[in-house]
Amino acid sequence: MQPSNFDLRSYLLRIGLAGTPSADLATLRGMMRRQLFSVPFENLDVQAGRVVSLVPEEIFTKVVERRRGGYCYEVNGIFAMALEAVGIPYRFVAARPMTYPVRRPKTHMAIVAEVDGGQWLCDLGFGSYGIREPINLAWLDHGIRQDDDLFRLTTVAGWDYLLQAFTDGAWKNLYEFDLNPQEWVDFEPANFMNSTHPDSIFVRNLMVVLQNETGKEVLTSLYHKSVSEGRSVETKILREQIPALLRERFGLEITEG
């Protein structure tokens, strides 16, 4: 169900997408890229000790009206609201992050949209390793170039999809997922864990990522990294530098509430 306060025009202004959207691949790709380039992946609320809200109306207010970002449930959630408004069918899917040394539950939210006769993986919330535009689920077992990043989609166990990224000279597993449709409520336990558990990477460390046309900006509690055309510059930071970096590099202000 679409949230009562969702306004497509306001969303499009927020992400800076001109023109009239249609239920086609060009719109799907354009909306995904423009949102990635304007709405940061960020966990400022978790760092402030707040449990992230999965109420769609509150996500719209946060991301569009307050010009904030969010982590996977929020940024993929607002994207799903826009897909519904445009008329592009989609489903939420639960994904198992594979970037940990031990096997973890399916705590990540991604989206599979259906347009122009194909099924397309869309994900705006996997941080610095995230894909940059939709990937067709039929594009299996070969490298998929997206700007200066290289991804691969394969299958495991006969039914799960596995997304990988090529980094440091090897394929790195990102996450696996199946096509069973999920609802908002299905992500409540994972969201609570990610927002509160002391071992959660979102509780333990600041994480802010904003994609751009040539690369990305990444901020953690320890460093700021700029990536452009495959080259990266990493700088250690002091905690007192964080507010200025959030404002100048990511368009974010740390505020109470």
What confidence tens digit (pLDDT) does each residue in 17-64 have?
Answer: 999 999 999 999 999 999 999 999 999 999 999 999 999 999 999 999
Structural domain includes residue 18: yes
Q: Which domain holds residue 163?
A: 8-198
Check which CATH number belongs to the domain holding 58 and give it.
3.30.2140.20
Instruction: Judge whether residue 257 has pLDDT over 50.
Output: no
Structural domain includes residue 223: no
Cα-based distances in Å from 109 to 74, 80, 179: 9, 11, 12
Position 63: which residue type? V
Structural domain includes residue 94: yes
Closest among 143, 179, 133, 134 to 164, alpha carbons compared: 143
pLDDT tens-digit map of 156-169: 987 899 999 999 89
Structural domain includes residue 222: no
pLDDT tens-digit map of 194-212: 999 999 999 999 999 999 9
Structural domain includes residue 13: yes
Residues assigned a catalytic role: 72, 108, 123
For the chain, what is the domain count? Answer: 1
Structural domain includes residue 235: no
Task: Assess contact for 96 and 177: CB atoms under 8 A.
Answer: yes
**How confident is the model at residue 217, as a pLDDT?**
97
Structural domain includes residue 210: no
Structural domain includes residue 211: no
d(CA 64, CA 253) in angstroms, rounded, equals 14
Cα-based distances in Å from 38 to 180, 184, 204, 249: 30, 24, 25, 11
Q: Give CA angle at 172 (233, 30), nearest 5°.
A: 70
